[in-house]
Amino acid sequence: QQQVKQSPQSLIVQKGGISIINCAYENTAFDYFPWYQQFPGKGPALLIAIRPDVSEKKEGRFTISFNKSAKQFSLHIMDSQPGDSATYFCAASVGLGGGSNYKLTFGKGTLLTVNP
C-alpha cells in the first residue's frame, strides 16, 4: 500500500532527446509527488513536485505529468543534456495533516545517462 514503483531502472538517451521516467502508486491518500535528482556522491535535490489537483507541471525542460485515475505520474526531460545524467527518484507522501508520521515514500531510482 505504501510502495511507489519506478521504471525503468536505467535509461540511455541521446543528447537532445526526451527522457521519460514513470512511477505508479497504490495509496490513494498520497497527495504530494516530488522528483529528486541525485548526482554521484551527492545528496538528492528536489527537482520538481506536483499536487494531484493538476495534471501537469512544467519547470523549464522538466515536466511532471500526473494521472490520478491511473495512479501514475511521470517525469519528462525535454532536450536532454549530458549534464542531466544522474539518478532520479520519484516519491510520494500523504498530506501534512498526517502529523508526526509524515514521511516520503521513494521509488527505487532511475539511472539516466545522456550521451553526447
Partner 1 sequence: SQTIHQWPATLVQPVGSPLSLECTVEGTSNPNLYWYRQAAGRGLQLLFYSVGIGQISSEVPQNLSASRPQDRQFILSSKKLLLSDSGFYLCAWRQVSSHTQYFGPGTRLTVL
Residues lying near partner 1 in the complex (CB under 8 A) are found at 32, 34, 36, 40-46, 49, 87, 89, 93, 96, 100-104, 106, 108-109, 111
Closest to partner 1 by CB, 70 vs 96, is 96
Least distance (Å) from partner 1 to the CB of residue 43?
3
Residue 64 forms beta bridges with which residues? 57, 75
**Shortest distance in whole angstroms from residue 93 CB to partner 1:** 6
Which of 41, 35, 81 shows the shortest CA–CA distance to 58?
Answer: 35
- Smallest gap from Cβ 109 to partner 1, in A, equals 5
CA distance 84 to 15: 10
Is residue 83 left, alpha or beta, with left meaning phi > 0 and alpha meaning psi from -120 to 50?
alpha
- Comparing CB distances to partner 1, the nearer of 12 and 18 is 12
